[in-house]
Amino acid sequence: MSRARLLRLFGLSGLIFYSGSLLASSLPAALLPFGPIVTLKRAAQVLLHSVGVTPGLEVFSGQSGARAILHMMCFRISAVGAGTHVLFDDFERCHTRRVQALRDPFQVFQVASLAGPLVDLDLGYRQSLASEPMQSLFLLSDYYCHVPEAERAQARWVSIEARYIGLNLDDGSTGQVDMGGRRDCRRPGWELRRK
Q: Which of 151, 178, 139, 140 is nearest to 85 (CA)?
A: 151
Same domain, 24 and 72: no
Task: Please answer whether residues 195 and 136 qualify as being in contact, where contact means their C-beta atoms are separated by less than 8 angstroms.
Answer: no
Domain that holds residue 16: 3-50
Supply the pLDDT for residue 158.
92
Establish if 58 belongs to a structural domain: no
Same domain, 75 and 165: yes
Rounded distance, CA 183 to CA 110, Å? 16
pTM attached to this predicted model = 0.61
Tell me the pLDDT of the chain (195 aa) as tens digits. Answer: 788 888 888 888 888 888 887 777 776 656 566 677 777 777 777 777 676 666 555 555 566 665 777 788 899 999 998 888 999 998 888 888 777 766 788 888 888 888 888 888 887 776 666 677 788 888 898 999 999 998 888 889 999 999 988 888 777 788 888 998 888 988 877 787 765
What is the torsional sign of CA 180, 185, 188, 189? Answer: negative
Same domain, 14 and 85: no
Supply the pLDDT for residue 58.
55
Same domain, 33 and 123: no
Establish if 141 belongs to a structural domain: yes
Rounded distance, CA 166 to CA 71, Å? 5
Same domain, 44 and 89: no
Same domain, 78 and 46: no
Same domain, 95 and 187: yes
Rounded distance, CA 138 to CA 190, Å? 8
Task: Please answer whether residues 53 and 25 qualify as being in contact, where contact means their C-beta atoms are separated by less than 8 angstroms.
Answer: no
Establish if 57 belongs to a structural domain: no
Same domain, 108 and 149: yes
Supply the pLDDT for residue 64.
60
Same domain, 10 and 40: yes
Domain count, the chain: 2
